[in-house]
């Protein structure tokens, strides 16, 4: 079978793929991978899954799909590889620096949080190893701490190892190159361990949780309570219908006037139907007048 390939979260158009695999093996691989990863991986685009399965097959030196299924089910190395590979994990500090400039202006203009003393709550959904969450934290620290405004960043990721690294807040010394000079006071350079560490007071405002951003308990925990949600470089890997459902769900978590920030090139089709307004490419605001009724319509 040959299935979707273009990285557009709103469309599942077919594209050419090098992999050829029968429906039966694809289903068996998806079942084995779902057990290994701990979520239903059929939410991901089939072309993404196939590319990853092909790569895993090469890396594990499996001669057949059947051997790969066996490795995912029965070998710790197979299970670990697929857990690391499927929910793609690349990130970095201040990734897409230009977007951070837009984000800074939006954060500064967040409606009336200062007066209400509510403080600012930011969710980094699919936070990976924490670089994105800490970049936002350094920005929040610069903007809000001098105003004595409370702020917190919550990072959620499905991958336990990534959450543990994020929690640790230590990175290779090389990562300093990604951090603009004006933010480098947010880190401590430790020559002894040839690494950098996030400043303790910044880390203290950041919480990292292992969890699935697609589950309903997100609504129980954060319903209408968030000022900002980042969902960067995740929706590109999702099937269009799944991405749509996630966008609807996330919109409900935002306070009116709150912001969703996507990765560069990612977008939400017909955003007004789910109570969102595009402010800039990749940035959406929850319409202050959009009640839950609009958003629930999309369920
Ligand atoms: C490409 S990384 C992006 C990391 C970060 N947002 C950034 O842009 O630097 C995607 C992250 O989303 C996580 N992820 C994928 N599906 C997830 C899910 N259902 N729930 C929570 N995290 C998920 C992956 O484990 C991975 O760390």
Q: Which of 44, 52, 87 to mutate to test the pocket of ligand 1 (most atoms within 8 A of CB)?
A: 87
For position 287, what pLDDT does the model report? Answer: 87
For position 223, what pLDDT does the model report? Answer: 82
Q: Which of 48, 234, 238 to mutate to test the pocket of ligand 1 (most atoms within 8 A of CB)?
A: 234
The residue whose C-alpha atom lies closest to atom 19 belonging to ligand 1 is 212
E strands in 127-225: 151-157, 170-172, 187-190, 195-198, 206-210
For position 16, what pLDDT does the model report? Answer: 41
Instruction: Work out the pLDDT band at 1, boundaries 50, 70, 90.
Output: very low
> Closest by alpha carbon to 132, among 105, 187, 159, 92?
92
Instruction: Work out the pLDDT band at 296, boundaries 50, 70, 90.
Output: very low
For position 200, what pLDDT does the model report? Answer: 94
Distance of CA 81 to the CA centre of its chain: 19
The residue whose C-alpha atom lies closest to atom 16 belonging to ligand 1 is 87
If you measure from the C-alpha of residue 117 to the centroid of ligand 1, how many angstroms do you get, rounded to a whole number? 31
Q: Which two tokens stand for residue 173?
A: 């010394």
Judged against a pLDDT cut of 60, whether residue 298 lies above it is answered with no
Distance of CA 50 to the CA centre of its chain: 21
For position 282, what pLDDT does the model report? Answer: 96
pTM equals: 0.87
Q: Is 214's C-beta closer than 6 angstroms to any atom of ligand 1?
A: yes
Instruction: Work out the pLDDT band at 188, boundaries 50, 70, 90.
Output: confident
The residue whose C-alpha atom lies closest to atom 20 belonging to ligand 1 is 212
If you measure from the C-alpha of residue 4 to the centroid of ligand 1, how many angstroms do you get, rounded to a whole number? 21
Q: 295 vs 200, which has greater pLDDT?
A: 200
If you measure from the C-alpha of residue 170 to the centroid of ligand 1, how many angstroms do you get, rounded to a whole number? 19
Q: Which two tokens stand for residue 166?
A: 């994020």
Distance CA 4, CA 8 (A): 10
For position 116, what pLDDT does the model report? Answer: 56
Distance CA 207, CA 169 (A): 11
Instruction: Work out the pLDDT band at 63, boundaries 50, 70, 90.
Output: very high
Judged against a pLDDT cut of 60, whether residue 95 lies above it is answered with yes
Q: 116 vs 141, which has greater pLDDT?
A: 141
Please, what is the end-to-end C-alpha distance for the chain in angstroms?
30
Q: Is 128's C-beta closer than 6 angstroms to any atom of ligand 1?
A: yes
Domains in the chain: ranges and CATH: 23-85 (no CATH), 97-296 (3.40.50.150)
Largest Cα separation within the chain, whole Å, is 63
> Closest by alpha carbon to 132, among 197, 179, 86, 87?
179
For 263-279, the pLDDT digits (tens) are 999 999 999 999 999 99
Which atom of ligand 1 is closest in space to residue 231's alpha carbon? 6
The residue assigned the tokens 């402010």 is: 279
Judged against a pLDDT cut of 50, whether residue 290 lies above it is answered with yes
Q: 190 vs 208, which has greater pLDDT?
A: 208
Residue 74: which residues within 8 A CB-CB, separation 6 or more? none
The residue whose C-alpha atom lies closest to atom 11 belonging to ligand 1 is 126
Instruction: Tell me the pLDDT of the chain averaged across its residues.
Output: 86
For 140-160, the pLDDT digits (tens) are 999 999 988 899 999 999 889
Q: Is 217's C-beta closer than 6 angstroms to any atom of ligand 1?
A: no
For position 29, what pLDDT does the model report? Answer: 95
The residue whose C-alpha atom lies closest to atom 24 belonging to ligand 1 is 87
If you measure from the C-alpha of residue 156 to the centroid of ligand 1, how many angstroms do you get, rounded to a whole number? 8
If you measure from the C-alpha of residue 39 to the centroid of ligand 1, how many angstroms do you get, rounded to a whole number? 13
What would the mean pLDDT of 100-119 be, rounded to a whole number? 79
For 17-47, the pLDDT digits (tens) are 445 889 999 999 999 999 998 889 999 999 9
If you measure from the C-alpha of residue 87 to the centroid of ligand 1, how many angstroms do you get, rounded to a whole number? 6
What would the mean pLDDT of 164-192 be, rounded to a whole number? 90
The helix (H) or strand (E) run that includes residue 229 is: strand 226-231
Do 224 and 252 contact (CB within 8 A), yes or no? yes
Q: Is 156's C-beta closer than 6 angstroms to any atom of ligand 1?
A: yes
If you measure from the C-alpha of residue 43 to the centroid of ligand 1, how many angstroms do you get, rounded to a whole number? 13
């Amino acid at each position: 079978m040959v299935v979707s390939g273009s990285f557009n979260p709103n469309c599942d158009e077919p594209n050419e793929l090098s992999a050829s695999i029968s429906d039966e093996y694809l289903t068996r691989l998806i079942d084995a991978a779902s057990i290994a990863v701990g979520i239903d991986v059929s939410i991901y685009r089939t072309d993404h899954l196939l590319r990853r399965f092909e790569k895993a097959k090469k890396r594990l030196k499996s001669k057949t799909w059947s051997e790969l299924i066996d490795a995912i089910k029965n070998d710790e190395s197979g299970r670990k590889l697929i857990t690391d590979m499927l929910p793609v994990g690349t990130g970095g500090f201040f990734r897409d620096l230009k977007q951070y400039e837009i984000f800074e202006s939006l954060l500064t203009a967040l409606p009336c949080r200062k007066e209400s003393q509510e403080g600012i709550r930011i969710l980094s959904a699919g936070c990976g190893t924490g670089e994105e969450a800490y970049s936002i934290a350094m920005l929040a620290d610069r903007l809000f701490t001098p105003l004595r405004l409370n702020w917190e960043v919550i990072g959620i990721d499905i991958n336990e190892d990534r959450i543990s690294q994020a929690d640790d807040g230590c990175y290779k010394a090389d990562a300093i190159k990604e951090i603009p000079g004006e933010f480098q006071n947010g880190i401590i350079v430790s020559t002894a361990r040839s690494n950098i560490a996030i400043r303790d007071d910044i880390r203290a405002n950041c919480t990292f949780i292992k969890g699935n951003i697609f589950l309903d308990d997100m609504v129980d925990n954060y319903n209408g309570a968030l000022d900002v949600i980042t969902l960067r470089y995740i929706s590109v890997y999702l099937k269009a219908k799944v991405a749509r459902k996630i966008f609807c769900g996330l919109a409900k978590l935002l306070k009116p006037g709150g912001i969703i920030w996507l990765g560069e090139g990612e977008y939400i089709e017909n955003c007004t139907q789910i109570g969102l307004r595009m402010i800039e490419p990749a940035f959406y605001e929850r319409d202050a007048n959009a009640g839950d009724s609009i958003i629930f319509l999309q369920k």
